[in-house]
Structure 1
């Protein structure tokens, strides 16, 4: 986590294991802080340039701009230029061109530059997390809670089948065809379950389909999918660690998720009047947007504190404020903030995609590539079929619903990371999961657009800011 104590420790170069005087520690902190800031600023310059160039090229090619941001992230990330990289991928400051520049300019020791790299990466990661929180808050504001209620049952069925089908298909297939042991197979199957709501919802907004019946079913199902995915992760992580499932923990997570989501919706009627009264009483700049962000962050904090996702809390906050009289004005005020932070999320997702796992000349990749082919098939088919379980909605685009559930994004990478850290999965299986995540993330945006067909420009006030 991003704490003052962690920052203080990571900034100080570990030159000696002997205790150091407090004055020396303070001196090192003050010397390192400007260098860390320089690293953050250079990284943000790269991210913003990559985001804008990528989205503009994608727009001119009639592709979703978010796809351009993801591809731009790949180019500046670990697979190409290595301008935006992170230590959790096993990289060090020596792998980063930005850190090399900072080391040369400031004559840093290898130990010092590695600590600067760690801290700078932490800041960018936090900004990325804030970006996706704001994105989901904005999605909540753009969603119609009444329409979500109308498609609630259909969204639940889509989410449930979208979790069960790929999980069962992946687990059983790995055990039967590839003779993978039970626990690794279960972990890989679990990595197939969750949908990346951030990527799908951004594409829906860009093509003007967020408020369509299909869009609302996809968003609702993706939210439920996220909750179910967290519960599945808790189960398999417990299984990998102890060999048995902690039923109490799973039950608590399930009850917390239900209470949180339904409680948030019920809160809307009570909170809306309070919010409007508060906004009316404030006379300084930010009288609408600051209280709105305070509420969104409180909800995100609660979601995170009860071991759900912070993004679920932000989405719930957006749904609640969607009912207020200040909603239209709030939409416009949030767009510039989203324009600054959301691209950081999408570029970093692309930057973390290590395409070297696709290289068949590396021996440990070969078996992973074979398994990856199977996982990709299950990952796509297990979600696409969900469009055909929708009932009671006439003339619905079933293919679009299924494709909208396909991208795994950062969620699948979390599963792979936890599986590797716990020792539950080996390198070939990890490679296979990463390849599955990369391809489903990059293939879904253009195919989702194709599934909806040529769409006219969204009406004013009905889309998220994409320019």
Structure 2
């Protein structure tokens, strides 16, 4: 029953998050793990349903919307070059080594390329929450991570469209690229002209909470437009958040959307990730799961870190950025579903990769805690030495 599920999820996620903080780990890790405990994998109290997935989708959209609202646009402009390096390197390394792994596993060439593409995907929704908890979302590293995720998403989707056209799928590569370009052009134009106008007009309506309602309308509209164009909905929500942050309604919207999101939708999103875990058939492919998980973690961690290092970050900060790019999240799961439908991914490999994606999601907050802690200690030591 949905009502019972909501009560259990909200209570369990808050308690698990608190316990995780007491153990000096990010709260999000506890929320992910409690989902595994509550789900079919262990206790079976919560089952994955379409309604739960829809609520979860709203949660991740709102989370990225908040990230956009809290983005420092001046810092965002300054880190554009760094984001490009991180995003590009974060695609090249997993793609190349993932393709190599596919060839070693005797996969056909196109199937091996698809494996590399899937491992190239990044979803920073988990990273955003960890950055917020550590107070790093507005830092140079945090802004670079968010920009790199957008670039990563666009590159992977275009490459996927190209691969699908080669594999005989009914895909027009030129049309796919045109839709992506059109989306960003329309989003920027609407953000520049439409967002301020809509916020002002709707704020004058003689009903309650018009400002936050206007913001949510724009958030979901941008998310839908992004999804329609073949870009992840979270990118649209993030862009909407950035443009609303440039209006005079930023603080009111941020405060009220955070209340709605963190009270209900975001805990459901994090816990639902854990609920999706399925250990059935895992033992038969345990070795492959371990190897692909290590490959997935290492290629993003070091690939993105090298990109950040080239962009001028020191190694500690570069590794912190790389850690935030490790999670494949819902973006990789969507790509995996496309691969299974098109025959580029066998049912057995689908099972393996779903677990690999979930493992990368679980380890991301732990890695971020480790590297951002080292970075903070190094920064504090530098201040002490100067004194």
TM-score of the aligned structures, taking structure 2 as reference length: 0.89
Q: Which has the higher contact order (CA 8 A, sep 6+)?
A: 2
How far is 1:205 from its partner?
Answer: 1.1
Q: Are the equivalent residues in 2 in contact too, given 1:288–1:330 (CA < 8 A)?
A: yes
Output the CA distance in 1 between the equivalents of 2:78 and 2:291: 36
Kindly tell me: are residues 144 and 253 of structure 1, through their superposed partners in 2, closer, same or farther at Cα, counting changes over 3 Å?
farther
Output the CA distance in 2 between the equivalents of 1:147 and 1:264: 20
Output the CA distance in 2 between the equivalents of 1:392 and 1:192: 23
Residue 108 of structure 2 is aligned to residue 181 of structure 1: yes
Matches within 5 A, 1:66-215: 66-86=28-48, 121-175=49-103, 177-215=104-142
> Which secondary structure does the structure 1 equivalent of 2:40 belong to?
coil
**Counterpart for residue 444 of structure 1:** 364
> Which structure's residues are more often helix, by fraction?
2
Note the aligned Cα RMSD (angstroms).
Answer: 2.3
Could you report, residue by residue, the CA deviation over 1:260-319 in whole angstroms, capped at 9, with x for unpaired residues?
Answer: 335434544434542453255334321210111111111112112222222211111001
Kindly tell me: are residues 273 and 187 of structure 1, through their superposed partners in 2, closer, same or farther at Cα, counting changes over 3 Å?
closer
**Counterpart for residue 388 of structure 1:** 306
Kindly tell me: are residues 315 and 381 of structure 1, through their superposed partners in 2, closer, same or farther at Cα, counting changes over 3 Å?
same
Could you report, residue by residue, the CA deviation over 1:322-372 in whole angstroms, capped at 9, with x for unpaired residues?
Answer: 10111011111111110211111111111101133432xxxxx2xx33333
Q: Which one is further off, 272-281 or 307-316? A: 272-281
> Which secondary structure does the structure 1 equivalent of 2:120 belong to?
coil
**Counterpart for residue 117 of structure 1:** none
Give the gaps of 5 or more residues in structure 1. 1-38, 87-120, 360-364, 457-467
> Which secondary structure does the structure 2 equivalent of 1:210 belong to?
coil
Give the gaps of 5 or more residues in structure 2. 377-387
TM-score of the aligned structures, taking structure 1 as reference length: 0.74
Q: Are the equivalent residues in 2 in contact too, given 1:194–1:228 (CA < 8 A)?
A: no
Output the CA distance in 2 between the equivalents of 1:250 and 1:446: 38
> Which secondary structure does the structure 1 equivalent of 2:280 belong to?
helix
Kindly tell me: are residues 145 and 258 of structure 1, through their superposed partners in 2, closer, same or farther at Cα, counting changes over 3 Å?
farther
> Which secondary structure does the structure 1 equivalent of 2:210 belong to?
coil
Residue 243 of structure 2 is aligned to residue 316 of structure 1: no
Q: Are the equivalent residues in 2 in contact too, given 1:159–1:225 (CA < 8 A)?
A: yes
> Which secondary structure does the structure 2 equivalent of 1:356 belong to?
coil
Aligned length: 372
Higher Cα Rg: structure 1 or 2?
1
> Which secondary structure does the structure 2 equivalent of 1:195 belong to?
coil
**Counterpart for residue 353 of structure 1:** 277
How far is 1:251 from its partner?
Answer: 2.9
Kindly tell me: are residues 245 and 146 of structure 1, through their superposed partners in 2, closer, same or farther at Cα, counting changes over 3 Å?
farther
Kindly tell me: are residues 419 and 78 of structure 1, through their superposed partners in 2, closer, same or farther at Cα, counting changes over 3 Å?
farther
Q: Are the equivalent residues in 2 in contact too, given 1:77–1:85 (CA < 8 A)?
A: yes
